[in-house]
Structure 1
Amino acid sequence: MKKAIAIIAKEVSDEVLDYYNSLSKVKSFYLITPEKNNELEKRFSKLKIFQDSEILNRELHTYIENTSRPNWYYQQFLKYELVFFLDYDYVHIIDGDSYLREELVLEDKLFFTKKKIEKNYNLFINNINLFNNISEKSFITNQMCFSKKDLEYLVQSISPIRENWIKTVVDMLIKSENTWFSEYQLYANYILNKKGENKIEKLKVYRRLDLLNVSKESALEKYPIVSYELGHKVDFLRKIRAKIYYFLQINFG
Structure 2
Amino acid sequence: MRDINYIFALMVFDSKRKNYDVVICVGPQHIEIAKVVINQVKRFFQAQQIYVITSPYYFEKFQLLSLTNLVLVNENELLYRFNFESVADFLKQKINNGDRAGWYFQQFLKLEISKIIQSDYYLIWDADTIPLKPIDFFDKEDKVLIHKSEENHNPYFETLEHILGVTKTVNYSFISEHFMVKTAAIRIMLEELSKNANGMYWPYYILESIQKKDLSLSGFSEYETYGNFLNSTYPDDFRLRTSPSELLNTTRNGSMILGTLPNTKNLHFLEVLGLHYATFEIWQDINPKQIKANKRRVALFFFFEKIPLIRSLNKLIIKNFRKTYSLPQPPY
TM-score category, normalised to shorter length: 0.7 to 0.9
2:77 aligned with 1:54, yes or no? Answer: yes
Select 1:22's aligned residue among 5, 23, 43: 43
CA 1:59–1:158: 2 relative to 1, 3 Å: closer
Structure 1: gaps spanning 5 or more residues: none
1:249 aligns with 2:328: yes
Q: 1-side partners of 2:326 and 2:84: how far apart?
A: 47
The answer for the alignment partner of 2:160 in structure 1 is 125
**Alignment match, 1:103:** 135
- Per-residue CA distance 1:191-247 (angstroms, 9 max, x = gap): 1111226622244541120111383344345343321002333359x99xx964744
Q: Would you say the 8 A contact 2:36–2:130 is kept in 1? A: no
Q: How many residues in Structure 1 have an aligned counterpart in Structure 2?
A: 248
**Residues 163 and 205 of structure 2 are in contact (CA less than 8 Å); yes or no, is this contact kept in structure 1?**
no
Report the Cα offset of residue 114 of structure 1.
4.2
Q: Is the 8 A contact 2:83 2:105 kept in 1?
A: no
Partner of residue 112, structure 1: 147
Give the structure 1 partner of residue 10 of structure 2: none
Q: Work out whether 1:207 is the aligned partner of 2:252.
A: yes
How far off is 1:150 after superposition? 0.8
> Which structure shows the higher helix fraction?
2
The alignment's TM-score, normalised by the length of structure 2, stands at 0.63
1:79-101: CA deviations, max 9, x gaps? 11112123332221211111234
CA–CA separation in structure 2 for the residues paired with 1:150 and 1:144: 13
Cα distance per residue 1:60-119 (max 9 Å; x no partner): 972553336211000000111112123332221211111234224688725233423222
Q: Say which is worse superposed, 48-57 or 21-30, in terms of deviation.
A: 21-30
> Does the aligned pair in 1 maintain the 2:255–2:280 contact within 8 Å?
yes
Identify the match of residue 4 of structure 1 among 2, 21, 37. Answer: 21
- Going by fraction, where is strand more abundant, 1 or 2? 1
Unaligned runs of 5+ in 2: 1-17, 92-97, 242-247, 292-320
* Contact 1:9–1:96 (Cα < 8 Å) also in 2: yes
Counterpart of 1:173 in structure 2: which amino acid?
Answer: I
Q: C-alpha distance in 2, partners of 1:128/1:58?
A: 19
Aligned match of 2:62? 40
- Alignment correspondent of 1:170: 207
Q: Does 1:216 align with 2:271?
A: no
Alpha-carbon contact 2:128-2:281 (below 8 Å) kept: yes
Aligned AA for 2:66? Answer: F
Tell me the distance in 1 between the aligned counterparts of 2:214 and 2:202: 18
Secondary structure of residue in 2 paired with 1:53: coil
Distance 1:78 1:245, change over 3 A: farther
1:128-159 deviation line (CA, Å, top 9, x unaligned): 35225532312111111222211122122222
CA distance 1:43–1:61, change in 2 (3 Å): closer
SS of equivalent residue, structure 2 residue 118: coil
Which residue of structure 2 aligns with residue 76 of structure 1?
A: 107
User: 1:6 touches 1:91 (CA, 8 Å); kept in 2?
Assistant: yes
**Secondary structure of 2:147's aligned partner:** strand
The residue type equivalent to 1:44 in the other structure is: S
Asked if 1:181 corresponds to 2:220, the answer is yes
The 8 Å contact of residues 78 and 113 in structure 2, kept in 1 or not, is answered as yes
Deviates more, 1:193-202 or 1:225-234: 193-202
In 2, Cα distance between equivalents of 1:127 and 1:244: 43
Cα distance in 2 between the residues matched to 1:194 and 1:87? 22
Summarize the Cα distance change of 1:223–1:111 in structure 2 as closer, same or farther, 3 Å threshold.
farther
The TM-score normalised by the length of structure 1 is: 0.80
Q: Which has the larger radius of gyration?
A: 2
User: Could you say what secondary structure the match of 1:113 adopts?
Assistant: coil
Helix, strand or coil: the match of 1:230? coil
1:125 is displaced (CA, Å) by 2.0
Higher RCO by CA contacts (8 Å cutoff, separation 6 or greater): 1
Percent identity, aligned pairs only? 17
